[in-house]
Amino acid sequence: MTQPQRLPSLRRVAVCGGTHGNEMSGVYLVRHWLRDPSELQRGTFHATPFLGNPRAIEQCTRYIGRDLNRTLTADFLNSKNTNLYEVQRAQEINQTFGPKGSSQAYDLIVDLHNTTANMGSCLIVDSEHSLLSMHICDYIQKHSRIRRCPILFYQQQPEEETYSVCSVSKAGLALELGPQPQGVARADLLAHMRSIMACALDFIELFNKGTLFPAFETEAYKVVGPVDFPRYPNGEISAVIHPNLQDKDFQPLKPGDPIFQTLSGEDILYDGDDVTYPVFINEAAYYEKKVAFIKTEKRTFSQPALQKMF
Amino acid sequence: MTQPQRLPSLRRVAVCGGTHGNEMSGVYLVRHWLRDPSELQRGTFHATPFLGNPRAIEQCTRYIGRDLNRTLTADFLNSKNTNLYEVQRAQEINQTFGPKGSSQAYDLIVDLHNTTANMGSCLIVDSEHSLLSMHICDYIQKHSRIRRCPILFYQQQPEEETYSVCSVSKAGLALELGPQPQGVARADLLAHMRSIMACALDFIELFNKGTLFPAFETEAYKVVGPVDFPRYPNGEISAVIHPNLQDKDFQPLKPGDPIFQTLSGEDILYDGDDVTYPVFINEAAYYEKKVAFIKTEKRTFSQPALQKMF
């Protein structure tokens, strides 16, 4: 048996809600934890709750000036121009929980998101190289009461610069729960998110206490790229997500399957060469990004065993 | 048999989408009809499509300055102060399709809405005194392929001033389809709305051709009043819609049934004296109006026969 990978214990953990101000599960949970943090306490550590984008939350909108969750890059973190609220906020978050990439950075940030897509309780990590995050996901998959928590790798290229709020800490994990409309808190999704969060904290507690987490194999979905809506020459959308594709996140889409339906009633078929597994199908916030859905590939990934450094 | 009520034929009919700029079924349908109005044509008339709030549509938000669908009142229509975009827009709509209350006003406006609540294909009219609208609803209920189209009366008091876009015309009807997140167009709801709209136009065509529509009785839900979320002393919401109530629009809610769940896990029970039929449960746009759901009473209403004036 090969030796487990070793990482230092995890003392500085944070959980962020409202990175997008209209994704309400995280907003409501973090507001609750700011009043009563007892749920975030374990024997070896406690998680610090914080609101990502307070002004956007106040206005119940995704962001004020630009998407905060695309703003944690070197360019914005080093920018002297903080006219945009989210640039200022990114720098504050980096100061409190980073600096990004440094040894002073927090050990882990869990960032709480919602989607209007039918993605269930999705766990988003950068890539299969995020060892700690992958072990947390595996633990959640095996121990949470939620039936299915698919893992999504967001990074398309290993050299790609990360940009999300949870990229400020040494390890990051985003929970992406849906379907839930923007500006709405549903009790069922709130309970699911809460239970997954508790599971993540339980993992950290066990890790800090020296538990050996064995090597494992797991299926995960890796982002391949976005697909835009069909459009008229003037840029207006000319077709909607096909009823056969709507709500079918993480299900196989084969070449020739219908993906859009025009307002005139014609089907538009998927012309890719291979089966893909679409995610973020009909996500409200992605219309402005010209994304109707995101293609992924499903693969099996192996992870080595993990144990605390003694 | 009593004589039917007589109304003049209906020549000037309009259909409005995007009164709220992030309710996408109407936005997409009206944009389509502006390109190809053939679906809106019948032998005796055609319906004129228009976008209610173009600037809000552009920004994919409910409104810019204030809710357009609360702005068609005498005060705003006569106001010299048109700094607010929606006041200006209300006056334009009134000029084109009204003036409200005058004999020059359009015969009918159908206004297309979406809700995040599970209200199915709801037909909203002012009150049981809206004879023409009630006959259109009855025809839709009997002839549309949609299984259930509940009728909702929005006016609480007969003397109440109307304020909606479709109050500008002599008769009005709002279609309220859900659940659909703001900023998202779902193919299924688009098809339902389209089919109900076609049914309404078919009714008008038959009416104009002299068809006698017999007297009928129908069940309808009449607004009683709103219920706010429980709140902390600082005004923040302290509980979410109870999972037992979520998605149960138009279903009986009995005294003692749970309606909210606090973040600490306690149930809050309905303390009314009578059974009520909640609607707009967890509607995203109503959080800012301090409305968690709206209570209605279910009653049976009789309508006299209707025929065109010869």
Mean pLDDT of A178-196: 98
* Cβ-contact A44, A209 below 8 angstroms: yes
Task: Tell me the C-alpha distance between B60 and B10, whole Å.
Answer: 33
Please report how the helices A187-208 and A131-143 are oriented relative to each other, as an axis angle in degrees rounded to 10.
Answer: 120
What is the reported pLDDT for B20? 98
3-state secondary structure at position A246: coil
Would you call B288 and A60 a contact, using CB atoms and an 8 Å cutoff?
A: yes
* Tokens standing for residue A234: 């003037």
Backbone angles phi, psi at A115, to 5 degrees: -135, 150
Tell me whether strands B46-51 and B12-17 are parallel, antiparallel or unpaired. parallel
Q: Which residues contact B84 (CB under 8 A, 6 or more apart)?
A: B64, B65, B66
| Beta bridge partners of residue A253, listed in sequence order | A276
Nearest Cα of chain A lies from the Cα of B186 at a distance, in angstroms, of: 7
pLDDT tens column, B106-144: 999 999 999 999 999 999 999 999 999 999 999 999 999
What is the reported pLDDT for B125? 97
What structural domains does chain A harbor? 5-219+302-308 (3.40.630.10)
Nearest Cα of chain A lies from the Cα of B284 at a distance, in angstroms, of: 5
Least confident stretch, A98-107, A155-164, A260-269, B34-43: A155-164
Whether the pLDDT of residue B1 is over 70: the answer is no
Q: How many CB pairs under 8 A join A and B?
A: 95
Name the nearest CA neighbour of B10 among B105, B144, B88, B96: B105
Which residues of chain A are within 8 Å of residue B32 when distances are taken between CB atoms? 263-264
What is the reported pLDDT for A30? 98
Would you call B246 and A190 a contact, using CB atoms and an 8 Å cutoff?
A: no
- The C-alpha angle B136, B140, B144, rounded to 5 degrees, equals 160
What is the reported pLDDT for B81? 85
Which residues of chain B are within 8 Å of residue A116 when distances are taken between CB atoms? 181, 183-184
Quickly list H helices, chain A: 24-35, 54-58, 74-77, 85-97, 131-143, 187-208
pLDDT tens column, A5-54: 999 999 999 999 999 999 999 999 999 999 999 999 999 999 999 999 99
Would you call A263 and B32 a contact, using CB atoms and an 8 Å cutoff?
A: yes
Mean pLDDT of B244-271: 97
Would you call A184 and B236 a contact, using CB atoms and an 8 Å cutoff?
A: no
Amino acid at A283: E
Name the nearest CA neighbour of B168 among B291, B48, B65: B48
Q: What is the ipTM of this complex?
A: 0.95
Would you call B181 and A181 a contact, using CB atoms and an 8 Å cutoff?
A: yes
Which residues of chain A are within 8 Å of residue B263 when distances are taken between CB atoms? 28-29, 31-32
What is the reported pLDDT for A159? 84
What is the reported pLDDT for B25? 98
Quickly list H helices, chain B: 24-35, 54-58, 74-77, 85-97, 131-143, 187-208
* Cβ-contact A216, A301 below 8 angstroms: no
What is the reported pLDDT for A310? 84
Mean pLDDT of B214-242: 97
* Cβ-contact B69, B167 below 8 angstroms: no
Name the nearest CA neighbour of A177 among A17, A294, A64: A17
Least confident stretch, A105-114, A153-162, A222-231, B65-74: A153-162
- The C-alpha angle B236, B240, B243, rounded to 5 degrees, equals 180
Task: Tell me the C-alpha distance between A225 and A219, whole Å.
Answer: 19
pLDDT tens column, B170-209: 999 999 999 999 999 999 999 999 999 999 999 999 999 9
Nearest Cα of chain B lies from the Cα of A243 at a distance, in angstroms, of: 6
* Tokens standing for residue A147: 């039936």
What is the reported pLDDT for A156? 84
Whether the pLDDT of residue A2 is over 80: the answer is no
Which of A190, A263, A283 comes nearest B240 by C-beta?
A: A190
Question: Which of A64, A184, A232, A264 to mutate to probe the B interface, most B CBs <10 Å?
Answer: A184
Whether the pLDDT of residue B258 is over 70: the answer is yes
Average pLDDT over chain B reads: 97
Would you call B187 and A242 a contact, using CB atoms and an 8 Å cutoff?
A: yes
Question: Which of the four pLDDT bands, split at 50, 70 and 90, describes residue A225?
Answer: very high
pLDDT tens column, B44-54: 999 999 999 99
Which residues of chain B are within 8 Å of residue A283 when distances are taken between CB atoms? 184
Question: Which of the four pLDDT bands, split at 50, 70 and 90, describes residue A1?
Answer: low
Question: Which of the four pLDDT bands, split at 50, 70 and 90, describes residue B158?
Answer: confident
Mean pLDDT of A102-124: 98
Amino acid at B113: H
Q: What is the DSSP string of B277-291?
A: --BSTT-GGGTTTT-
